[in-house]
Structure formats: C-alpha cells, structure tokens
Amino acid sequence: MKSSRSRLEGPARQNLLRLMNDRLRSADKWVVAARALDVGANDWSVDQVQAMRAAVLALRDHVLDDLAAQSLADDAYTRSAMRAAADSLRLTFDLLSGDTRLDPAEYPAEVVLGMDLFKLPGVRVEEATGRVIPPELTAESIVESTERSWLDVIDSHRVAERFDLAAHLLGLSEMRLLPPGPNGHEELTDESVHLAVGEAARHTVAALEGKRRVLEDSLRRTRVNGVFKEEEERDFEHRLQAPALTTKSDLASARQRLDGLSEELERAHATATAKLRARLMEIPGLRTEDVARVTPLLDDGDLLTAEELISHLSNGESIPDTRYGDHPLNAFFPSVPDALPHGITEELIRAVRDRERFQNLDALDFSTMSQEFTDQAANGLSGWREMALRRGVRRTEGLSEENLLMPALRLIGYRSLRKPQRDRQRSTTPEHRFLDLQEVRYTGEALVPSFGSALRGRLRVMLAWGQPTPEALMARVQQDPSQESLLVAYFGTLSAHARTSLAALSVGRRPMVVLDDAALAYLAARGNQLLDPAMRVLLPFSAVNPYVSEKRGRVAEEMFFGRLEELGSVQNPVGNQVVFGGRGLGKSALLKEAGRKFTAQAPTAHISMALSLDSTYNGTSAQSSAVWNLIGRRLLEEGALPLPKRVRADATLTYDNVLTGIRAWLKADNSRRMLIMLDEADGFFESDSPRFTETRRLRDLSSETNDGVKIVFAGLHSVQRYATLAANNPFSHLSQHPTVIGPLQPQDAANLLLKPLAALGYQFLEPQLVHRILGHCSYQPFLLQMFAHRLVQTMHAKRREAKSGPLHFIARDDVERVQSDKDLQRSITAAFHDTLRLDSRYNMIANVVAHHAHHHGIDARMTHAELRDECTYWWAEGFRDLDPDQFRAYLTEMEGLGVLAPDPDYRGWHLRSANALSMIGTLEDVDAQLENTSSRQVTERLTALETRHKSAKSHSHCPLTAAQIADILPGRQVSGSEPGRRNLARVVLGSPATGVNRVTTALREIAETTGWKMPHVARRADFERELVGGEPGMSRLVVSDLTVKSPGEQSCLISPELATTRLPDGPGVTRSAVVVAGLEQLTLWASLLSDEQTSGVGVVPLRRFTRHGLRTWSLDQNSFTSEAALQRVAETTGGWPLLIDQLSEQVSRGDSEGAALKSVRSRLESIEGAADFLAQVGLVPETFRWSAFTAVLEFMTEQGLPFEDLGAAASAAGLDPGPEAVDAIRILRALQVFDVDTTGLHSPEPVLLSCWSRVTGS
C-alpha cells in the first residue's frame, strides 16, 4: 500500500480519475434536468395544458357510461370493441388524474397489436416481417380464446408441436412483456413449464429427425432404382433438408412437410413400379415363370433389379436361374463327425468291404458302390488308419507315405506320379510332418484355383497326429513359412465345434483344407474319387478366396464360365479368326482357356501359344514383318520350329523361316496341330495397312499347312473395325463371323457368382441379390470378379465373428456393404470408363445417351438421327464428317462392348441398363463431360475403312467403301450378349457420278465371294417374296434396284417400308435388304434425308474417294503410288468414282500415268464433257438442284458456308425458305457436290466447280 503522503501514479491514478468523471457526469445530468423544470414552470403553455386536462377529466363519467351502454350490443365484435375502448379510456383518465403510472417497460408494438392472436390455434407468424397471421375462425372462437390463460395457451401449443410460439411466449414472460390474462399477471417462469415444453420439443425433434433419415434412406433407394430424374431428385433432396428441426421451430409445419414428401415419394415409387409392370406385360411371348420371377422384385421395391430382368426379357434373353441344389455339407455336417468320434475304425472298414450302411447313415452308405471302388476305398481307409495308429517318436519310422497316404488321397481325387518328398527341415517334431507331392494330377473339378490349376503339379501336405485343437493345429501350420496351398491330413475326427472354430481361425491365413477321418470316410462313400465333392465338403472350413481383386489379374480355368461357343470357334480349325471387345471383357482369358483346352485335346501333338503384340507395335515404329520373328522365337522355345543350319540362332526370323520350320514340324507327325493367338493386334493391323501383306500371309498360313496351323487375331475396337470389312481382301475370309467378347450371358454371369461361392459354403438368402449384383456389374466378368472378391472377404470376416456354420447366408446388408465400398465403386467405374476412353466418340455417344436418360428416364430411346444430331451439336469436329453409315458403325461397336442396346426393331438406342447410367455418372458429371473439349481427340479414320473392292471382272472398283459394305453385309457376331445376325434395311443413294448404276453388280460379286446368297429380283413381287423367305442360318442379301425399274413415286416410297416391315417368320431366318435409289427417285431422297425420318431404314450415300481411299486404289492399280502422283489424281478427278473408273480404264489399256490423266482432263475441259459430267452428278438445268446450286454459289465465300447459310441461300432461288430449301441442300450434299472441312464449312468441290464455270460461263 502507498502511504498517505505518496503521489498516485500510473494505472491507479487513471482509475480514480475515471471513477470521479462518472460520478460528476451523473450530477451534471441532474443539474440540467432541474434547470429545465424551472424553465418549464414559467412556460406560457403550462396553463393551457392544465385547462385541457381539467376539461377532459370532466367528461370522464359521461364517456365511460356511454361505452358501458354500447358494450351491451348484440354483435360480438361491437361488444368486444366497446369493452376494449372502455378499458383503454379508463387507463387514460387515471393517468391524467395522477391516480396511476405506466410501467417504465413499455410493451412492444407487436405485443400490443397482436398478443391475443397468439392464443388462437393455428396462428402463423411471417418469417420475413414477423406479422402475426390469425387462422380463419368464427367470432365466437376468437372471443372464447381471449378468456384462456397464458399457461393454457402454452400447453396447447406444446401439444400442437408449435414450439416456435411456445418459446416466443416464454421469452416474453421472462422479459415481463406478456400482458395479463383473464386472471391477471401469470407466473410462467416456473421451471416445470420450461421443462415440459423443452422435453416435448426434444422428443418431437428426435422423432422428426428419424423420419427424415428414413426418407433419406428411401431417397437413396429411389436414386438406385432410377425412380426420379436427376433434377427431380435434387429438388426433392433440397425440400427434404429445408424444414428446420430445432426445439424452438414450428415442428408441426415440419411434420406436415415431411409427411407430404413421404407421400410424394410413395407416389413416385408407385408410378415407376406401374410403368415397369406395364413394360413387363408388353413383352411378347412372356412366360408365366418369368412373370413370377420379376413380380416379387416389383413388390419388394427392388426396381433396379426388376428393370434389369425386364430388359433381358425385352431383348429376348432368359432370366438366369439362381436356385441352389442340396449342398453336400447338409449330409456330412454334423452327422458324420458325430457318428465317428473315434475316427476310422475296423467296424467302418468292415462295413466298406461288406458294402453295408454304417450306423444306418445315408452319408456312410457303401451298399451301392462297385466292387472295384469298394476295394480301393477299403485300402485307402486301412492305410489311413494304420498311419493314425502310430504313436510317439516311432510314428515316422518306416512310414511309407506312398503305400499308406496316397491310396487315401486318391479317394478325394488326387494322385501323384512320383513318391512323396519329405521336408525334413520343417518336420521337427513327431506330431507333424510336411510332404511335397510332385507331378500331382486330379480327377474331377477343383472348383477353386488354389487346389487346382494354381498347384502347377505340386501339392504341399502336412501330416498331423495327436488330434490337436484347432489353435494348436494352426500353430503347427505356421511353422511352415510357405504361402502355398496346404492339405492337412488330420489323423482323427474334428468335432463339429472344432471344425467351426477351425473355419474362423483360418480367415486371413494361407489356402488350406483339413482332411480328417470323418471327411475321408464320407468322401469314400459319396465322393466317387472325384475332387469336386471333396472340395465342396472341405472348402467351407477354409478361407480360400478364388476371385481376383484386380482387373489385370490372371483368370484361372476354374473361374472361367460360359463363352462355350466362342471357345469352340477359336479352337476349330475353320472357326473364327478374329476376336475383339473392350478392355477387361475377357479376350485374353478366352484365348488362354482356348489354348489350354486345345493343348489338352492332345498334349503331345497340340501346341498353343498366345502372343501379346502391344509392346511391339503400340507406340513404336516396328515393321509388320516383325511378327514372324515373335512367332518363330516362341515356337523355338516350344521346340516346334526346326531350323536349317544356315540360319543363325540369333538371326531375325522371317516369314520363310517360320513357314519352312512349321511345315517340317507338322510333317514329322500327322496328328500335330498349332493354335497361334495374336492378342492386342490393333497396332499390328495399323502397321500392316494399307497393303496388309503380313496379314494375308498369316491368313493363308492355314491353307499353306493343310489346316495344321490356325491363326487368331484379338484386340480392341481397331481390330473390330478391320474385322467387319468383309470386302477388304485380307479379311474377306477371316472375318465373316467375328467373335465379339462382350458381357457374359446372364446365366454364365450368375454361375460365376453362385458356383464358387457355394463351394465356399456361402449362399444368397434372396435370389434377387444375385440379380442386383449382376446388374451392378453389368454382367462383365472382371467387374463380377472384383465384387465377389470383396464379398468373400466380407463373409470371411462375418464368419470369424459369428463362429457358426458351416453354411453361411449372404444377406442384403452384406451385399449393400460391398456395393457401398468407395474403393470398389471407383474401381468399377474406372474399369467401365476404360472402355469409353478407347475412342473419344465412344465417350461422347455414351454421355449424350446418358444425358437423355437423366432428363427423360432410362427407358427413353433416341433414334439414330437424334443421337447423331446431338453428338454433332456437342462435338461438331468429331461427328460432322461421319456419314450415317459410319455413325451407325460406332453404335454397333458400342453394342458389342456392352454399353448401348438397340430396340428390337433397331429404330432407337438406349443404355444397356440403369447400372450403365450410374457408372457414366450423375447429371453434373455428364454435363461436365459434354462441356469438356480439352480431352477430346478425333480418332483418325482407319485406311481400311476407305478401301473399295476391286472387281474381278472389270477395271472398276466398288462404289461402296469397305465400311459401307460391312454395314450392308454384317457378319454374325458371336457374343455373350449378341443374339446373332439380324434383319437389316438399307437404302443406297447416289448418282451415276458416284456409281449408283454399278451398285447391284458390285454387291452381287461381293456376295458371291463372301458366302452370301443374293436372289434375283426383277419385280416388286419378287422383292416382297424374298424379304420373308430364306432358311435358318443362311446369309441372304435382297436388293431392289429402283434405278433399273424406275417405278412411280409411290412405289419408290413403299420399297423402304417393305424392307423394314416385311420380316421373315421362320426362327433363325434373317436377311439384309437393300434398296438402290438414283436421280429418278429424288422424292425418296428427300423423305429419307429429312429430320422427320423415323423408320428403321439406314441411309447409305455413295461417296467420292477420300485421300485414304485414293491411296489404297493406287496400290491396287500399282500406279500413281507416289504422293505427287496421288495429288495429281485428286486434282484431276476430285475423287469422283466415275472419273476414277475412267482413269483406271485408261491405265488398263496401257496408257502412262500422265497420258491417262491428260485424257480425263481433256474430256472435262470441253463444254460437252463438262456438261455431261454435271448431268452425271445430278446438276441439270431447269431443275431445283440447278437453281439451288446457282443460288449457293452467289453467296459462297472463300472460307465456305455453314449448313444453315446454305439453306438461306437456296431460298433465294425461289424455294420455300423452310423445308423445301433445306431438302434441296441435303440432296446436294448427298450428291457429294460439297467439300466439308472439320469446322463444318461447305465449299463447292473444285472439279465440279470448274465444269460448272465452263458450262455456265461464270
């Protein structure tokens, strides 16, 4: 403390000064107020106010009496108003007389104006303004409510869940702003009132939050089932989250909104269900059992699975059978372990020898066994028992596993060609011993790779004596650090409890099965010495996971399901030689399985090999001839290529070396055969084009060796495109029936799930769960493998926790747990997008269809024209230069890849399933993909697509390109999801300048060389008859050439309709119908090229030669092969087929290249020749085409004009500015009079323009 003499300094001094200032400020205010009163006392207005006050108070009694009289009126509103006025005036008179004073805390305006309204039930408060809105009530109800106490009002709001009002009133009460009720001021601050309101509010909030969670779960299921479109789902979710669920909010309104949303969700679900029921019943030929399979899914609300099955039925596919047979475990466990507590006894062996039923058990019934099997079973069990009876350290002395153990192992399907090898290093105690069985073979099916193909001829065995507990047994197993599959020979019987414990302990360990006395005895009676019954009994107590977890994982033969037709085709010497499909759809697995089966047919005489060419040809400049060195080196490794001494061991092997060596190897043994499969062949084909020299040699290898060698090509979409070019020479005999590897057939996909899981002891509790997984994985084998791998892991973990079994059931929760796994979702989605990324156009088409599905529903179809227009709108550069037939080829490719599916009549396209839509992404994802142009890259057209078949009878080339021929004459595509060859309808449009007059002749020549039958059609009656005729399996081409017959306008329009509607009735009977229309059928052109064209007919316009097409033409001619010469050909002919044929004719006569070009050029430089050429193109004076072209040239710029401006220009020629002008431009485009660049600008073709100028003088 400071002394009294000390001076205050620092903070203490400042605090004292601040305190004094506060006190002085209050005193100053008092002085100011007092002075004001003195001034007011002398104010002249004080007397006047006093006089007015006295005058008003004199009227007090008279006014109040009048109001009292008025308050007795009959009208309730009048009575209430008068009473309120009297109360107000009475208070005013009391204030003027000084008899009372107002409370210093003045009521807010909203309290004064609307406080009594809070007593009304159903009152609302505007959130924005705070204005109190009363409900529509009668006057009597309003009057009665004024008599209610505030305590009663708050309780009624609590019951009505109007906690916003209750909290507001309690808040006013705490601030003493609540007006007095009928009984005066009420005390609402009692804790019990607050507790009652708060407890009720919290209870209601919890209930409504639970209701909202239920709705969120329902919305998720609705999202999965595709009930809502994307915008509807977002709007619903926003409205679902909008109500505020707090203890001081209007929970009554929130409940009402949630109830409304629940009803809306139910209505939407009911509507979607009704649509699916209608789709189901509209399927032609629907069977009763199919309805019975789908209806429970609709009843249970599993619309996604139901939609998947309905799609299968609509596409003519069957619903997979998911029923289970009786599992062997039901007969074995626990009855057999319980019956053999002492293991294999003499009594049991005697029953075997006497072929009797042991202990009256069906599972141990030996009475039906043959004598040979009986003897083998008795010997095997006796040897096993002899080993089991050995004791202590002498257990292994003089032990002959070959004589005692191997007969027992033969009872479960294993045998070895060599003596068992003891691992003395790991066999350190007399209680166990490790053995290695070499050159192991097995009879029957292993069911899982771990105990089948993955053994690679070597099986690890552990002999276990002393009947250790499951824990002790696992400890002994761990003494062996190897992670190879292990067979434990357990001498004794594992009780039912011990086996269950062993199943739980084995989770996370190496692949292991335990063969004990009980299992051996059961398999001796019921196993037929096959491995598959043994595995079905032993695997449920192991922790084997047979599924691969990665896309690139090797698929073992045990996990290869289906594709039997494809396998047979690859192995057959005269079967398909081209296999194609998307990434991960099973091409490589198919080749490996085909090779294995081919070799297994004759192990000493058959050789198969699968060579991957991607590392050689992808991203390299390797020559196509390098393929022979690859083949030769592999054959040398197999010892199947004898080489002459003059060829050095390190020399690069050539075609001649390989052919000579193969012939020598085949000649040594007439039974020898080779199957050579070239995988990832896309780069090889690119390298070998356009001459395809090595492709021809590979193709001819079969004929060169008398079918001793078969070559199979496999790859992605490039191989698919090459393979479908039926008229292209190297492929004409390779690819008439290319093999498409798409999604698995539904039953094969179901088997991939059901059979391995059942072998492990896992069965689905509900059949629809199988369909749900199949749809989720789009029936693609590698996606099913990844999903099932996670499912097995989940079930193993569940088994370890449950410690029950051995049969375990896969419930809905288990499937949903795997399905919601984020890593798996990313893996499945990434794998699906790998297919779309094969070609940027694939990705665009898929996203356009997905965009349509999001807005219009998954079952909404897009026509060919609609889809092409939408794709062009989003990515003009990628689709503008694709003709309808080229675009149609893309759709067919995506059908083969399992992304798109057509309507049965091929008039519309849609995504294959709702799961495909979910894998493509949400509406935001789709919009982002459509808007993103940076990642798009125009895929360069394959040179082979532009090749044209050279006639064997003349100098001319086919007016149709190889791609167009493939569209008209499609090969039957063998695929898990492809029904085979189908009925097609095409209309070929062209002029003499593009070769329309030679179409029929060219098609007949190609049909003859590719195995198609083309009947003669002279009249319309012939055409109608042939459209519905034919035999199953026959490739038929029906052509109606209108240019020859020149029928009337109506007949022209009927022909395409006949081609699409008159279909063969017989099963398996199909045909490809073609209508050829020239310049005399322009009415038909206009109808087919218009936007309103919705028929299932495909338009194939004849085209000029492209630069790629000219290059392949020059190679066929063996002239004009240099780039400079090719440029002169393009400048002279413009690629017009008419002029190209004239050039070919000149060359065939022996003219030089220069002379041939000069001849064609001279003809066009004359007015007569130019006019004739224009007429051949279709530009004839005094026709709408001539007028439209004239008008277009008047508006033409150096850069060119877009399509819309061409239509505007044509209208200047007097054509209707609407459809008539647009039709004229479309016909001119189909006549090939324009060059179109990548930006969509149209310019007149230079050769044509030169002739035009010469004729018109412009």
Question: Is the predicted pLDDT of residue 125 greater than 70, yes or no?
Answer: yes
Report pLDDT for 933: 66
Residues 6+ apart with CB under 8 A from 456: none
Distance from C-alpha of 543 to C-alpha of 474, rounded to nearest angstrom: 13
Measured distance between the N- and C-terminal CA atoms of the chain, rounded to whole angstroms = 118
**Residue 740 parent element (H or E):** strand 739-741
Residues 1031 and 1112 in one domain: no
Report pLDDT for 728: 44
Distance from C-alpha of 759 to C-alpha of 763, rounded to nearest angstrom: 9
Q: Which residues pair with 781 in a beta bridge?
A: none
Helix/strand/coil (H/E/C) assignment for every residue in 1185-1213 = HHHHHHHHHHHCCCCCECHHHHHHHHHCC
**Number of other residues whose CB lies within 10 A of the CB of residue 1136:** 25
Report pLDDT for 1009: 73
Angle in degrees, 0-180, between the axes of helices 1203-1211 and 1184-1195, rounded to the nearest 10? 120
The whole-chain average pLDDT of the chain stands at 84
Q: Does residue 573 have a cis bond before it (omega within 30 degrees)?
A: no
Residues 6+ apart with CB under 8 A from 1014: 1003, 1004, 1007, 1008, 1036, 1037, 1038, 1039
Place of tokens 């109190």: 132
Question: Is the predicted pLDDT of residue 316 greater than 90, yes or no?
Answer: no
Helices marked H in 1011-1106 — which ranges? 1020-1028, 1042-1045, 1049-1061, 1082-1089
Q: Is residue 456 part of a domain?
A: yes
Report pLDDT for 972: 47
**Chosen domain end from 1103, 1121, 1145:** 1103
Contact 277, 711 (CB under 8 A): no
Contact 108, 177 (CB under 8 A): yes
Place of tokens 């020549």: 1005
Per DSSP, the three-state class of 753 is helix
Place of tokens 């068992």: 420
User: How far is CA 79 from each of CA 93, 135, 144, 597, 1181, rounded to the nearest angstrom?
Assistant: 21, 21, 13, 105, 99
Q: Which of 273-282, 1217-1226, 1249-1258 has the lowest mean pLDDT?
A: 1217-1226
- Tell which wins on pLDDT, 1231 or 908: 1231
Question: Is the predicted pLDDT of residue 2 greater than 50, yes or no?
Answer: no
Report pLDDT for 185: 59
Q: Which of 934-969 are b and which e, b meaning 16 or more Cβ less than 10 Å from the residue's Cβ?
A: eebeebeebbbbbbbbbbeeebbbbbbbbbbbbbbb
Residues 144 and 238 in one domain: no
Helix, strand, coil % over all residues of the chain, rounded to 5: 55, 10, 35
Question: Is the predicted pLDDT of residue 1012 greater than 90, yes or no?
Answer: no
Report pLDDT for 529: 94
Q: Which of 292-306 are b and which e, b meaning 16 or more Cβ less than 10 Å from the residue's Cβ?
A: ebbeebbeebbbbbb
158-187 mean pLDDT: 76
Q: Is the pTM of this model over 0.85?
A: no
Report pLDDT for 931: 87
Question: Is the predicted pLDDT of residue 206 greater than 80, yes or no?
Answer: yes
Q: What is the C-alpha R_g of the chain?
A: 45
**Number of other residues whose CB lies within 10 A of the CB of residue 559:** 24
179-184 mean pLDDT: 64
Report pLDDT for 973: 43
Residues 6+ apart with CB under 8 A from 572: none
Percent of the chain residues topping a pLDDT of 70:
88
45-55 mean pLDDT: 79
Residues 141 and 164 in one domain: yes
- Residue 487, both tokens: 């067979």
Question: Is the predicted pLDDT of residue 290 greater than 90, yes or no?
Answer: no
- Tell which wins on pLDDT, 559 or 186: 559
Count of structural domains within the chain:
7
Domain that holds residue 47: 10-97
From the list 1120, 804, 1098, 792, the residue with the least C-alpha distance to 964 is 1098
Q: Which residues pair with 902 in a beta bridge?
A: 909
In degrees, rounded to 5, the angle at the alpha carbon of residue 456 between the alpha carbons of residues 453 and 462 is: 100
Kindly report, residue by residue over 357-396, the tens digit of the pLDDT: 999 999 999 999 999 999 999 999 999 999 999 887 777 7
Return the top range by mean pLDDT from 182-186, 538-542, 718-722, 887-891: 538-542
Q: Is residue 702 part of a domain?
A: yes
Place of tokens 């394959």: 942
Q: Is residue 846 part of a domain?
A: no
Report pLDDT for 675: 95
Helices marked H in 676-819 — which ranges? 682-688, 693-704, 717-723, 746-759, 767-776, 781-802, 812-819
Question: Is the predicted pLDDT of residue 1114 greater than 60, yes or no?
Answer: yes
Q: Is residue 363 part of a domain?
A: yes
Report pLDDT for 959: 94
From the list 517, 528, 491, the residue with the least C-alpha distance to 411 is 528
Residues 1142 and 1185 in one domain: yes
Residues 1232 and 1089 in one domain: no
Residues 116 and 180 in one domain: yes
880-892 mean pLDDT: 80
Long-range interactions of 628-637: CB distance < 8 A, separation 24+:
628/653, 628/654, 628/655, 628/657, 628/658, 628/694, 629/653, 629/654, 631/658, 631/676, 632/657, 632/658, 632/661, 634/609, 635/607, 635/609, 635/661, 635/662, 635/665
Helix/strand/coil (H/E/C) assignment for every residue in 229-272 = CHHHHHHHHHHHHCCCCCCCCEHHHHHHHHHHHHHHHHHHHHHH
311-335 mean pLDDT: 81
- Tell which wins on pLDDT, 744 or 971: 744
Distance from C-alpha of 1020 to C-alpha of 1080, rounded to nearest angstrom: 17
The pairing of strands 432-438 and 421-423 is antiparallel
Report pLDDT for 291: 87
Residues 43 and 184 in one domain: no
Residues 113 and 151 in one domain: yes
User: How far is CA 983 from each of CA 54, 317, 971, 1055, rounded to the nearest angstrom?
Assistant: 111, 18, 12, 15
Place of tokens 């369909």: 771
Report pLDDT for 885: 75
Question: Is the predicted pLDDT of residue 681 greater than 50, yes or no?
Answer: yes
Residues 399 and 476 in one domain: yes
Q: Is residue 860 part of a domain?
A: no
Q: Which of 440-449, 712-721, 980-989, 1111-1120 has the lowest mean pLDDT?
A: 712-721
Q: Which of 176-180, 1026-1030, 1078-1082 has the lowest mean pLDDT?
A: 176-180
768-783 mean pLDDT: 86
Task: Give residue 834's Cα distance to chain centre.
Answer: 11
From the list 759, 731, 718, the residue with the least C-alpha distance to 939 is 718
Report pLDDT for 778: 80
- CATH number of the domain that 726 lies in? 3.40.50.300
Question: Is the predicted pLDDT of residue 312 greater than 80, yes or no?
Answer: no
Contact 369, 521 (CB under 8 A): no
**Residue 580 parent element (H or E):** strand 578-581
Burial class (CB in 10 A: 0-12, 13-18, 19+), 239: middle
Per DSSP, the three-state class of 488 is strand
Contact 737, 566 (CB under 8 A): no
Report pLDDT for 937: 67
Contact 132, 150 (CB under 8 A): no
- Residue 67, both tokens: 């109001």
Return the top range by mean pLDDT from 7-21, 447-461, 700-714, 1217-1231: 447-461
Which DSSP category does 653 fall into?
Answer: P
Return the top range by mean pLDDT from 741-745, 806-810, 1035-1039, 1138-1142: 1138-1142
**pLDDT band, very low/low/confident/very high, at 1 (cuts 50, 70, 90):** very low
Per DSSP, the three-state class of 595 is helix
Q: Which of 964-968, 1100-1104, 1135-1139, 1211-1215 has the lowest mean pLDDT?
A: 1211-1215
Kindly report, residue by residue over 571-605, the tens digit of the pLDDT: 988 888 888 877 767 888 889 999 999 999 999 99
The pairing of strands 808-810 and 673-679 is unpaired
**pLDDT band, very low/low/confident/very high, at 547 (cuts 50, 70, 90):** very high
Report pLDDT for 512: 95
Place of tokens 């609407």: 1218
Contact 780, 542 (CB under 8 A): no
> What is the greatest pairwise CA distance in the chain?
146
Distance from C-alpha of 797 to C-alpha of 507, rounded to nearest angstrom: 7
**pLDDT band, very low/low/confident/very high, at 932 (cuts 50, 70, 90):** confident
Burial class (CB in 10 A: 0-12, 13-18, 19+), 1239: exposed
Task: Give residue 323's Cα distance to chain centre.
Answer: 26
**pLDDT band, very low/low/confident/very high, at 1216 (cuts 50, 70, 90):** low
Q: Is residue 1184 part of a domain?
A: yes
Q: Which of 180-189, 500-509, 537-546 has the lowest mean pLDDT?
A: 180-189
Residues 1114 and 1031 in one domain: no
From the list 945, 939, 946, 964, the residue with the least C-alpha distance to 878 is 939
Q: Is residue 904 part of a domain?
A: no
475-488 mean pLDDT: 90
Residues 6+ apart with CB under 8 A from 982: 906, 970, 1070
561-570 mean pLDDT: 88
Which DSSP category does 738 fall into?
Answer: P
Torsions phi, psi for 333 (to 5 deg): -115, 130
Q: Is residue 760 part of a domain?
A: no
Question: Is the predicted pLDDT of residue 334 greater than 80, yes or no?
Answer: yes
Percent of the chain residues topping a pLDDT of 90:
34
Distance from C-alpha of 1111 to C-alpha of 540, rounded to nearest angstrom: 64
Residues 266 and 129 in one domain: no
Torsions phi, psi for 1023 (to 5 deg): -65, -45
Distance from C-alpha of 486 to C-alpha of 513, rounded to nearest angstrom: 7
Residues 519 and 636 in one domain: no
Distance from C-alpha of 637 to C-alpha of 765, rounded to nearest angstrom: 51
